[in-house]
Amino acid sequence: MDRYEELHETVERAAHHDVVGADDVVSALATLRELRNELADWEPRLIGAARRMGVSWADLAPVLGVASRQAAERRYLRMRKPEQEAGLTADARVQAERDRRAGQRAVRAWAQDNSEVVRKLAALVGSLDDVDDEARPHVDVVSRTLGNDDPVLLIGPMVSAVAHLRDSHPDLAAQVDGVNAEVEEARRAAVDRRVGR
C-alpha cells in the first residue's frame, strides 16, 4: 500500500504541475511497471480461484469489465501463463486451450462411440496374470479403472501398461496401440477442423 500511496501522490503532483523531480517521475514509472506486472499475475489467479469455487463466466464478465462470458474466458486464457505454455503469446495461449478442449471433446466422443471395444481391451489388459514386477502396477491400475463409467478414463492407463507389455504380449500391445492411434487421429482431426486446416 505504501508503494501505491507514493505512486498516487507523485502522479497527482505531476498532473497538477506541482514541483516534482525527474528522478521522482522515473521512479514512479518503475513502480508502476512493477505494480502492473503484479496485478497481471494476480488477476488470472483470482479468476482461477473464483472458477474453482463455482463462479460462472457470466458472473465474472461484468466484474472484469467485459460484455460476455466468452470475453471473460478469453481474457483469462490470454492472461494466464501455465508452464507448458511459456513463450506463447496471449492469443496463442487462447488457441492452445481451445485446441486442447476440442481434442478432449473428440476423444470423449470417440471413446463413447467405441466403448465396447475399449472396455473389452481394458478387461484383457487388466486381467493379465503373467506379467513381470515392472508391468504389474500398470496392469493393476487398468484393472482398478475398469469399474469407472467413463471409457475415456481407461485409455491412458492401457497405453501406460502397454509400454511394459510389448515383449510379453505383443498382440495385445498392438491392439492397444491401434486404439491409441485412432484416439490421436480423432484428436488431431478435431483440432484441424477447429482451425480450418
Stated pTM of the model? 0.56
Q: 121: pLDDT confidence band, cut at 50, 70 and 90?
A: very high
Q: Decide which of 84 and 120 is more confident.
A: 120
How far is the CA of 17 from the CAs of 21, 24, 47, 65, 127, in angstroms? 11, 13, 39, 32, 81
Cell 503484479 sits on residue: 38
Average pLDDT over the chain, rounded to whole?
85
The span from the CA of 90 to the CA of 176, in Å, is 37
The four Cα atoms 72, 76, 79, 84 give a dihedral, to 10 degrees, of -150
26-61 in b/e form (b: 16+ CB < 10 A) is eebeeeeeeeeeeeeeeebeebeebeeeeeebeebb
Q: Residues 15-23: what's their mean pLDDT?
A: 75
Widest distance between CA atoms in the chain: 85
Other Cβ atoms less than 10 A from the Cβ of 163: the count is: 12
Any residues with CB less than 8 A from the CB of 93 and at least 6 apart, and which? 77, 78, 80, 81, 85
Domain edges within the chain: 2-80, 104-195
Residues 73-91: tens digit of each pLDDT: 888 877 876 655 556 677 7
pLDDT at 88: 67
pLDDT at 1: 61
Other Cβ atoms less than 10 A from the Cβ of 138: the count is: 21
Residues 23-48: tens digit of each pLDDT: 877 888 888 888 888 887 888 889 98
185 has a pLDDT exceeding 70: yes
